[in-house]
Structure 1
Amino acid sequence: MEVSLPNNWKNLTLEKYDGSTDPDEHVTVYITQINLYTSEDAILCRVFLKMFKGAKLSWFAKLPPYSIDCFDTLVMKFEAHFATSKPHHLTSITLVNIRQKKEESLRAFMEKFGRVALSIRNLSPKMTMHHMVTTLKPRLFVDSLCKQPTTDLVELRQRATKFMQLEELKSFKSQIRAIEGVERREKDGGRWRKPKDVYKGP
Structure 2
Amino acid sequence: MDLYDGTTDPKHHLSNFKSRMYLAGASDATLCKAFPTTLTKAATKWFDTLPPRSVISFDDLSRKFLTRFSIQKDKPKHAPRLLGIKQEIGETLCNYIERFNKACLGISSLPTEAVIMGLVNGLKEGSFSQSISKRHLGSLNEIHERAKKYINIEENSWRYT
The TM-score with structure 1 as length reference comes to 0.56
**Matching of residue 150 in structure 1 with residue 125 in structure 2:** no
Higher helix fraction: Structure 1 or Structure 2? 2
Structure 1 pair 155/81, CA: closer, same or farther in 2 (3 Å)?
same
**Alignment partner, residue 16 of structure 2:** 29
Task: Percent identity, please.
Answer: 27
CA distance in 1, matches of 2:90, 2:5: 45
**Alignment partner, residue 81 of structure 2:** 94
Structure 2 unaligned runs (5+)? Answer: none
CA distance in 2, matches of 1:32, 1:80: 20
Alignment root-mean-square deviation, CA: 3.7
Of residues 87, 91, 98 in structure 2, which corresponds to 1:111? 98
Q: What secondary structure is seen at the aligned counterpart in 2 of 1:44?
A: helix
Letter of the structure 2 residue corresponding to residue 56 of structure 1: W
**Alignment partner, residue 121 of structure 1:** 107
Letter of the structure 1 residue corresponding to residue 138 of structure 2: T
Letter of the structure 1 residue corresponding to residue 45 of structure 2: A
Of residues 47, 55, 68 in structure 2, which corresponds to 1:57? 47
Instruction: Pick 1 or 2: higher relative contact order, CA cutoff 8 A, min separation 6.
Output: 2
Structure 1 pair 25/172, CA: closer, same or farther in 2 (3 Å)?
same
**Alignment partner, residue 75 of structure 1:** 62
Return the offset for 1:83: 1.7
**Alignment partner, residue 194 of structure 1:** none
The TM-score with structure 2 as length reference comes to 0.67
Structure 1 unaligned runs (5+)? Answer: 1-13, 176-202
